[in-house]
Amino acid sequence: MALLGMPVLVTAFLRYIVHFAITLGLVLKSGWKLSSFHTPRFGLVVLRALFILACTGLNFGAVLYLPLTLTSTILFSSPLIVCALSGPLLGEKVGKWRWAAICVGFVGLVIAIRPFDTTFHWAIILSVVNAISFALYIITTRKLSGDVDSDIMQFYAAAAGIILLAPFAVLQWHNPGTMINWMILLMMGFWGWLGHELVTRAHSFAGASALTPFSYSYLIYVTIWSTLLFDQWPDLWTLLGGAIIISTGLFIWFRERNEVSH
């Protein structure tokens, strides 16, 4: 069970319903036209939608068992994964210094998750796969930005979520009950849409090298809310691993910015 006693997949389905309603309205704001839904890179748009759908389900599943600070720390390894995959998938050059930073960053990830510790929880695997899926989502977003309108990308992401989650939502349906619960679910859908909208639009104006540092502020907010709402404090190993991951991520950002400036 997840938010408000709701099954994970039902929660994700309702989140995508709100997402879909918003993006459908935006796509049709100039009138109903079939051409509004056309995109020349349909396959990549759908693939991007599947990656973010995987992120949603995996993250919802992981936070059932793990502290938010740990899942967020693991997620911060995604910029390292993006950097490692940017060569074969984006045709970008990754020098020896950045490869060294990637390796050190993954050492930090191992420290945070402690795979050989008796406290290791299987849900950590969900969180690690979530980081990989998010990295692939960022890469596909970068490949589409400038070629495909952000509203179209958002529309197909929401449509894929609804279509694929609907059978599970029907089988596991649980009524949220109170109006407050419905409002929380609706707001979760709205903020989920807004977050992806801002990320998509940001990548159309600036490269990942310029945007990376801002993503690390996420850990500050997650730590605050995790402490206030769930009384979950990050342990020493999570803090150490997170510090290494963030440091190497910022080092990669600095190298990329330095190369661009020259």
Specify the pLDDT at position 130. 94
Specify the pLDDT at position 1. 42
Residue at token pair 């400036």: 261
- What digits encode the pLDDT tens for the residues 133-185? 999 988 898 888 778 887 788 889 899 999 999 998 888 887 777 788 888 88
Q: What is the CB neighbour count within 10 angstroms for residue 243?
A: 14
Residues in contact with 140: Cβ distance below 8 Å, sequence separation at least 6, in sequence order? 44, 47, 48, 51
Residue at token pair 């692939």: 136
- d(C-alpha 7, C-alpha 42), whole Å: 31
Residue at token pair 């309603």: 21
- What digits encode the pLDDT tens for the residues 224-252? 777 777 777 778 888 888 888 888 888 87
- What's the chain's average pLDDT? 82
The answer to whether 58 and 133 are in contact (CB under 8 A) is yes
